[in-house]
């Protein structure tokens, strides 16, 4: 067990963690929040500034 | 040769039996086909319903359906206008409503139990058939058999209580019941026939268990469990149509006259939400009751093998129960949404008015349920060597759960006297009025459910170390998934405070989707990651604390109490109507009881049910006492440890 853990460097672990957070973040924001609100005919970015609205599809 | 002939004969009989059940099930459908569909006066079932349509010579009066807005011939009499008299409301020197309440609630408890157990049997027996490990397969099969044995006496009690319900209706509410049965005559006739089919199937399913233990016959036996469940579900759906009609009537005109379309009176707007909610609720409740049975047997076990067996049984039952508890709030949300869509005032009465405090009590129960489920899983991790590495996260999860619990149960208004109301200048307290709003509560409950999913994933990994090459990537993704889910849920809860209500209500969908993403993606990914995983040690069944078994009993009691509470709420929301806006309740009991009285009644029903179900379990145990109990397959039974 310990040998397998040692095979992954700290840098890789950090990269994977950040990657996981980014992928999950994109999934939750675009595929859940924005898309599901749009499906209901509602505006997710109701109170948001214009620069953020440009990110919404 | 003789054996082959015997086998062939068994197959023929098995096919015949299966064919008969399927035929009986489809019979109502075949009988209704010649009568056609649509707005013609066509009973959906037995032709025993002989109420004749007016003679062709007389012009047929037409009227409009209150819900579907379609026109139909007036078939039935208008809803009776009752008076507070011995004719319409004959009575004992006691509130009739309370008598009916007890009879109905007991029937519902037992009915729910006997509908849930066959679903358990179906799942567990199927697991037994597909499991490759022979010893575990036998174990699952025996467990399914034990489940059905527990429920046999419960079936008789369900039927008895159903009879008591009918007699209570006939003797105490004859006018109302006469009206309801005049509309639902074919449905009630079908219900009775299906009950016979259900009982017949159940007895053959149980008594032929040993005969159909192997090979092809075993598959027929599993198919019978499916049929048993189909019949049971249809029974539940037929009964649900009566209460859905009472709450959101359709198929009648504004005077309550039946317009000939029995599908309209069945398929009212709340029918399907109640069907789904009750199906899931039955499973959660049934899981709780079986888990409590296992907990009781664990606590009274004399040997380590017994303790191991009942620990395992309790886990399986709890697992299935909690699996169905997870989607239950979504079904409840759908039901509430449909209530609001049907009649906004009814929705407001429920959650924003007279009955709002009952939903606060419900919130407390749900929070307690999830806390208990998490607690049980953490206790369960103590019987897995290797699970200690997750112990350090438990305190953070407890903190999150308790904080969310407090948010979840916060009321929006406080119980006040008129003088206090006047001093405050309104219903909303200047400080507390900001709390207890749905935006925060949705965030809280989704966080609670996500944390429960996290506990379960930790439990799954407890005694396993993933060995797949992509495990670090998988772990990173799981970490990202749960972290972003928590952030998203809490962010949406905060954001909801700053947007109007019509936009805010839409935020619940992405919140729920976040929770469900953690559930499905997380559990599936975790399961895939654990394929071929290294075991740090077997699960030491039986090596669990006594407190965990009390947690199972707590789960069962909470489920029972909540069922009683929600049923009381659903019934009370009709206020002074027998059938909403169609047939008024003119009895002397057309008022809403105080919350205290309602709670006492619910508690009485819960106690009464648990006393009688203990009797049922005791009856069931008379047969099993001599049977040897073995530990779950593949697991060593370690030396006993002192409970802590």
Delimit the domains of chain A by residue range: 28-57
Q: Which pLDDT score is estimated for B33?
A: 56
Nearest to A17 among B476, B487, B513 (CB): B476
Q: What is the pLDDT of residues B132-176, one digit of tens each?
A: 888 889 999 998 998 888 788 899 899 999 999 999 999 999 999
- For residue A43, the chain B residue with the least C-alpha distance is B503
Whether the CB of B499 is below 8 Å from some CB of chain A: the reply is: yes
What does the block give as tokens for B504? 């805010």
- For residue A39, the chain B residue with the least C-alpha distance is B506
Q: What is the pLDDT of residues B414-441, one digit of tens each?
A: 778 888 888 887 777 777 777 888 889 9
Helix H or strand E segment including B579: strand B577-579
pLDDT at B34 over 80: no
Q: Suggest the residue from B468, B484, B518, B535 to mutate for an interface test with chain A (most A CBs closer than 10 A).
A: B484
Q: Which pLDDT score is estimated for B20?
A: 76
Q: Which pLDDT score is estimated for B457?
A: 93
pLDDT at A23 over 50: yes
Q: Is B546 left (phi over 0), alpha (psi -120 to 50) or beta?
A: alpha
**Cβ proximity of B146 and B120 under 8 Å:** no
Mean pLDDT in residue range B258-268: 94
Q: A4 falls in which pLDDT band (50, 70, 90)?
A: very low
Highest mean pLDDT among A43-57, B54-68, B604-618: B604-618
Q: B27 falls in which pLDDT band (50, 70, 90)?
A: low
Q: Hey, are the CB atoms on B509 and A43 less than 8 Å from each other?
A: no
DSSP string over B199-237: HHHHHHHHHTTTTT-SHHHHHHHHHHHHHHHHHHHHHHH
**Cβ proximity of B67 and B269 under 8 Å:** yes
Q: What is the pLDDT of residues B275-308, one digit of tens each?
A: 999 999 999 999 999 999 999 999 999 999 999 9
Percentages of chain A per state (helix, strand, coil), in multiples of 5: 70, 0, 30
A36 neighbourhood in chain B, CB within 8 Å = 506, 509-510, 513
**Cβ proximity of B479 and B413 under 8 Å:** no
B481 neighbourhood in chain A, CB within 8 Å = 20, 24
Whether the CB of B503 is below 8 Å from some CB of chain A: the reply is: yes
Tokens 């963690």 belong to which residue? Answer: A17
- For residue B485, the chain A residue with the least C-alpha distance is A28
Q: Which of B94, B105, B104 is nearest to B603 (CA)?
A: B105
Tokens 């957070």 belong to which residue? Answer: A21
Neighbour count for residue B288 (Cβ, 10 Å): 30
Q: Which pLDDT score is estimated for B18?
A: 74
pLDDT at A16 over 80: yes
How many Cα atoms within 13 Å fall on the side-chain side of residue B62? 7
Whole-angstrom distance, CA of residue B134 vs CA of residue B361: 47
Q: What is the pLDDT of residues B197-240, one digit of tens each?
A: 998 999 999 999 998 888 888 989 999 999 999 999 999 999 99
Nearest to A32 among B473, B475, B513 (CB): B513
Q: Which pLDDT score is estimated for B49?
A: 41
Q: pTM of the prediction?
A: 0.83
pLDDT at B39 over 90: no
Q: Which pLDDT score is estimated for B396?
A: 95
**Cβ proximity of B404 and B447 under 8 Å:** yes
A47 neighbourhood in chain B, CB within 8 Å = 495, 498-499
What does the block give as tokens for A55? 């990110």
Nearest to B477 among A20, A28, A32 (CB): A20
Whole-angstrom distance, CA of residue B125 vs CA of residue B245: 36
Name which of B55-59, B243-247, B505-509, B599-603 the model is least confident about.
Answer: B55-59
The sign of the dihedral angle between the CA atoms of B614, B620, B624, B629 is: negative
A29 or A57: which leads in pLDDT: A29
pLDDT at B630 over 60: no
Q: Which pLDDT score is estimated for B53?
A: 46
Mean pLDDT in residue range B371-379: 93
Q: Hey, are the CB atoms on B479 and A20 less than 8 Å from each other?
A: yes
Nearest to A36 among B465, B476, B510 (CB): B510
Q: Which pLDDT score is estimated for B47?
A: 42
Q: Which pLDDT score is estimated for B46?
A: 40
Interface of A with B (CB under 8 A): 1, 4, 8, 12-13, 16-17, 19-25, 27-29, 32-33, 36-37, 39-40, 42-43, 46-47
B515 neighbourhood in chain A, CB within 8 Å = none
Longest Cα separation, chain B: 93
Q: Which pLDDT score is estimated for B640?
A: 36
The whole-angstrom distance between B389's CA and the closest CA on chain A is: 13
Q: Is B146 left (phi over 0), alpha (psi -120 to 50) or beta?
A: alpha
Whether the CB of B533 is below 8 Å from some CB of chain A: the reply is: no
Tokens 């049984």 belong to which residue? Answer: B313
The whole-angstrom distance between A57's CA and the closest CA on chain B is: 16
Q: Which pLDDT score is estimated for B447?
A: 95
The whole-angstrom distance between A51's CA and the closest CA on chain B is: 18
Contacts of B611 (CB under 8 A, 6+ apart): none
pLDDT at B54 over 50: no
**Cβ proximity of B641 and B543 under 8 Å:** yes
Whether the CB of B468 is below 8 Å from some CB of chain A: the reply is: no
Nearest to A42 among B479, B481, B503 (CB): B503
Nearest to A33 among B488, B498, B499 (CB): B488
B503 neighbourhood in chain A, CB within 8 Å = 42-43, 46
**Cβ proximity of B462 and A2 under 8 Å:** no
A29 neighbourhood in chain B, CB within 8 Å = 488
């Amino acid at each position: 067990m310990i040998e397998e853990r040692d095979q992954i460097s700290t840098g890789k672990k950090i990269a994977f963690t950040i990657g996981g957070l980014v992928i999950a973040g994109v999934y939750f924001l675009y595929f859940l929040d924005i898309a599901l609100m749009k499906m209901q005919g509602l505006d997710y970015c109701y109170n948001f500034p214009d620069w953020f609205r440009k990110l919404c599809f | 040769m003789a054996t082959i002939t015997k086998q062939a004969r068994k197959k023929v009989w098995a096919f015949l039996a299966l064919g008969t059940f399927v035929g009986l099930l489809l019979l109502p459908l075949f009988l209704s086909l010649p009568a056609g569909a649509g707005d013609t006066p066509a009973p959906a079932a037995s032709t025993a319903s002989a109420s004749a349509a007016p003679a062709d010579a007389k012009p047929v009066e037409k009227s409009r359906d209150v819900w579907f807005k379609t026109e139909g011939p007036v078939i039935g009499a208008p809803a009776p206008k009752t008076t507070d008299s011995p004719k319409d409301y004959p009575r004992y020197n006691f509130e009739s409503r309370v008598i009916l309440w007890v009879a109905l609630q007991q029937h519902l408890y037992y009915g729910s139990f006997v509908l849930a157990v066959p679903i358990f049997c179906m799942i567990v027996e199927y697991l037994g058939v597909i499991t490759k490990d022979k010893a575990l397969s036998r174990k699952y099969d025996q467990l399914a058999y034990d489940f059905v044995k527990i429920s046999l006496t419960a079936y008789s009690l369900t039927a008895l209580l159903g009879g008591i319900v009918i007699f209570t209706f006939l003797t105490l509410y004859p006018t109302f019941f006469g009206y309801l049965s005049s509309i639902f005559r074919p449905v009630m006739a079908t219900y009775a026939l299906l009950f016979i089919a259900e009982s017949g199937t159940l007895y053959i399913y149980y008594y032929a268990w040993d005969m159909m233990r192997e090979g092809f016959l075993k598959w027929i036996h599993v198919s019978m469990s499916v049929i048993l469940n189909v019949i049971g579900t249809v029974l539940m759906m037929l009964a649900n149509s009566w209460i859905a009609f009472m709450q959101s009537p359709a198929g009648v005109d504004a005077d309550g006259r039946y317009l000939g379309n029995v599908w309209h009176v069945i398929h009212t707007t709340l029918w399907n939400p109640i069907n789904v909610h009750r199906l899931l609720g039955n499973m959660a409740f049934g899981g709780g009751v079986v888990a409590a049975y296992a907990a009781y047997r664990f606590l009274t076990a004399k040997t380590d093998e017994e303790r191991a067996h009942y620990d395992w049984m309790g886990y399986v039952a709890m697992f299935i129960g909690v699996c169905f508890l997870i989607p239950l709030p979504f079904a409840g949300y759908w039901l509430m949404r449909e209530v609001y869509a049907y009649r906004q005032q009814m929705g407001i009465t429920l959650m924003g008015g007279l009955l709002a405090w009952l939903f606060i009590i419900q919130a407390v129960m749900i929070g307690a349920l999830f806390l208990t489920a998490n607690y049980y899983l953490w206790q369960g991790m103590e019987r897995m060597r290797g699970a200690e590495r997750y112990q350090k996260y438990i305190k953070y999860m407890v903190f999150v759960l308790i904080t969310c619990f407090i948010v979840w149960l916060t009321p929006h208004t406080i119980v006040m006297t008129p003088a206090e109301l006047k001093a405050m200048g309104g219903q909303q307290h200047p400080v507390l009025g900001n709390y207890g709003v749905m935006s925060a509560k949705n965030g809280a409950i989704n966080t609670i459910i996500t944390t429960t999913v996290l506990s379960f994933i930790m439990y799954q990994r407890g005694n396993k170390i993933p060995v797949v090459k992509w495990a670090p990537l998988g772990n990173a993704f799981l970490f990202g998934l749960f972290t972003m889910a928590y952030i998203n849920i809490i962010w949406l809860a905060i954001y909801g405070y700053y947007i109007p209500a019509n936009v805010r209500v839409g935020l619940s969908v992405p919140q729920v989707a976040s929770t469900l993403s953690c559930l499905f993606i997380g559990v599936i990914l975790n399961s895939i990651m654990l394929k071929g995983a290294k075991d740090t040690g077997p699960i030491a069944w039986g090596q669990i604390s006594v407190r965990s078994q009390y947690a199972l009993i707590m789960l069962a009691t909470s489920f029972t109490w909540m069922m009683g509470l929600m049923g009381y709420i659903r019934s009370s929301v009709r206020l002074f109507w027998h059938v909403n806006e169609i047939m008024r309740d003119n009895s002397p009991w057309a008022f809403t009881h105080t919350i205290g009285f309602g709670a006492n009644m619910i508690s009485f029903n819960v106690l009464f049910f648990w006393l009688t179900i203990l009797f049922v379990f005791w009856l069931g145990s008379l047969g099993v006492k001599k049977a040897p109990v073995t530990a779950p397959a593949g697991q060593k039974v370690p030396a006993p440890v002192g409970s802590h």
